[in-house]
Amino acid sequence: MIKQFINKVLKRKQTNSTLKVTVIGPSKHHIDKNHISHCALGVIKQLQEAGFQAYIVGGAVRDLLLGKTPKDFDVATNATPEQVKRIIRRSRIIGRRFQIIHVQCGQEIVEVSTFRAKSGKESLHQQVDEHGRLTRDNVFGTLEEDAERRDFTINALFYDPQKNEVLDYFDGVKHLKQKHITMIGEPIQRYREDPVRMLRAARFCAKLGFTLDNACKEPISTLNELLLNVPESRLFDELLKILLSGHAVNSLEQLRQLNLGSYLIPSLDNTLSDKQGALFIQQALLNTDQRIEKELGVSPSFLMATLLWPSLNLRWQQYLNKGEKTLPALFTAIHEVLVEQDEVLMIPKRFEGTMKEIWGLQPRFEQRSGQRPFKLLQHPRFRAGYDFLILRAQVGEIDPAIGQWWTEFQHAKPEDRETMLVKPDRPITRKRRKPKA
């Protein structure tokens, strides 16, 4: 009776789970505890000491089993957000639809979420739209239910650092060894519930170098359209995850093979089927992957500016060929390409502004005489514009000598810069009014 009441208060779903678990001990999993964040270990220890279940979950367990150092740690527990907040210092509740806890340890944030139940029939706390997409699923659940609601078997592993054991409900460890990505449950239904899982499938294939199960691959060619119903902010977040995964080149190839790319960037298919366009994107993403490998920062605006550039440039050149002037032609092309993009996936305004600046600066790099280069050096987006110029030079879109000149000009001593200026083809003269007779 009391248990029923508690479950009702905590919105817990009643189930008689019959899932079988495989417990994998240290002799079989070889997880190196040095790869685990102290913050996550501390959180789990405190929750367990308070009498709750707590595990490392998701990508972190997957990466630990693969011998890699995870980039972040998620913890799952049967404690409610309120309970976690009371037990762990420096923790705060975030999110409204489904509350989770962020625990801050210096720069690091560990995400703690309460076990959640798998989407089932529509209920008070679960809603689906007309396409079967879950629009609300804030139901707490048991450990087994939490495993079941996860997307792929390799993402449904739970690691208890105190016992040094991995709990595996869906042969995730076997699939990791086989480099195999497969969905928990029925793929079509799981894609319908959340179409972003199609994009996640592509991202994990690229990131891990794994193969997607045929049963998970085939429905994508018809279900890809469901991405049109997903809130744009969520799609954009996923696009950024893909681009910043450190495996952007492979991810884009996966997206293309799975016919998903045009639901994120409508011009992408055309761009990639053009030799010069494909070369530009490849080079941009290769540079990005290398920067991420070296742990250097990457700007999402810069990346988005590169992805749309081949299509933009094509339009720009067409307007120039029709005799339009440089800047009006460029700005018309920018406008058109953004309208086309925003019809499918709106780029947040904070990124769009910077993208326009990066593009708008490109013709200004061609001017290397008079005061203009000095003014350009002072521009707040000079660095991004210059990096973009170098990319264009790398793929032979502009004369590499221009890129080289700017590299030298910006690093030259101020007194030497004057001598580097390029003489204008024709003398600059002011038109003088004829003196009145």
- The set of catalytic residues is 72, 74, 151
Number of neighbours of residue 202 by Cβ within 10 angstroms? 26
> Beta-carbon neighbour count of residue 282 at 10 Å?
16
Q: From Mg ion, ligand ATP, none, which one binds at residue 381 (CB under 5 to 8 Å depending on kind)?
A: none
Give the HSE-up count for residue 321: Cα atoms under 13 Å, Cβ half-sphere: 6
Q: Is 197 in the site for ligand ATP (CB under 6 A)?
A: yes
Applying CB under 6 A, the site for ligand ATP has a residue count of: 10
Which single residue brings its beta carbon nearest to Mg ion?
Answer: 59
| Smallest distance, Mg ion to C-beta of residue 159, A | 13
Give, in degrees to the nearest 5, the angle at Cα 172 between 166 and 177: 100
User: Which structure tokens are listed for 224?
Assistant: 């890809």
Site track for ligand ATP across 48-67, x = CB under 6 A: ----------xx--------
Per residue in 17-46, is it b (16+ CB within 10 Å) or e — as a string? eeeeeeebeeeebebeeeebbebbbebbeb
Of the pair 60, 226, the CB lying nearest Mg ion is at 60
Q: Give me the count of residues in the chain.
A: 437
Provide the 10 A C-beta neighbour count for residue 436: 4
Nearest to 9 by CA among 112, 118, 85, 83: 83
**Whose structure tokens read 């799981």?**
190
CB of 28 to Mg ion, least distance (A): 24
Longest pairwise C-alpha distance within the chain: 107
Q: Phi/psi of residue 167, each to 5°?
A: -100, 125
Three-state secondary-structure class, residue 39: helix
Minimum CB distance to ligand ATP, residue 59 (Å): 2
Residues 177-196 that bind ligand ATP (CB under 6 A): 194, 196
Question: What count of other Cβ atoms lies within 10 Å of the Cβ of residue 77?
Answer: 26
If binding is defined by CB under 6 A, does position 150 make contact with ligand ATP?
A: yes
Sequential DSSP letters for 403-437 = HHHHHHHHHS-HHHHHHHPPPPSS---PPPPPPP-
C-beta closer to ligand ATP: residue 58 or 373? 58
Q: Out of Mg ion, ligand ATP, none, which partner does residue 150 contact, by CB within 5 to 8 A per kind? A: ligand ATP
| Residue closer to ligand ATP, measured from CB, 59 or 385 | 59
Closest CA to 333 of 349, 354, 351, 317: 317
Judged by CB under 6 A, the chain residues 71 through 100 that form the site for ligand ATP are 74
Nearest Cα to Cα of residue 398 among 361, 435, 429, 430:
361
Q: With CB under 5 A as the rule, give the number of residues binding Mg ion.
A: 1
Provide the minimum distance between the beta carbon of 79 and ligand ATP in the complex, in angstroms, as a whole number.
18
- Minimum CB separation of residue 200 from ligand ATP in Å reads 6
Partner in contact with 155, chosen from Mg ion, ligand ATP, none, beta carbon below 5 to 8 Å by kind:
ligand ATP
- H or E segment at 109? strand 108-114
- If contact means CB under 5 to 8 A according to the sort of partner, which of Mg ion, ligand ATP, none does residue 197 touch? ligand ATP
Residue with Cβ nearer ligand ATP (157 or 268): 157
Among all residues, whose Cβ is closest to ligand ATP? 59
CA-CA-CA-CA dihedral for 56, 37, 212, 166, to nearest 10:
-40
State how far the Cα of 92 lies from the Cα of 102, in Å rounded to an integer. Answer: 5
Binding segment for ligand ATP (CB under 6 A), chosen from 150-158, 161-169, 321-329, 361-369, is 150-158
List the x/- string, 11-50, binding to ligand ATP by CB under 6 A: ----------------------------------------
Pattern 23-62, Mg ion, x by CB under 5 A: ------------------------------------x---
Q: Considering the rule CB under 5 A, would residue 246 count as an interface residue with Mg ion?
A: no
Residue 196: name its binding partner from Mg ion, ligand ATP, none (Cβ under 5 to 8 Å by kind). ligand ATP
E-strand stretches of 138-199:
157-160, 165-168, 180-181
Q: Contact residues for ligand ATP (CB under 6 A)?
A: 58-59, 74, 150-151, 155-156, 194, 196-197
Q: Contact residues for Mg ion (CB under 5 A)?
A: 59
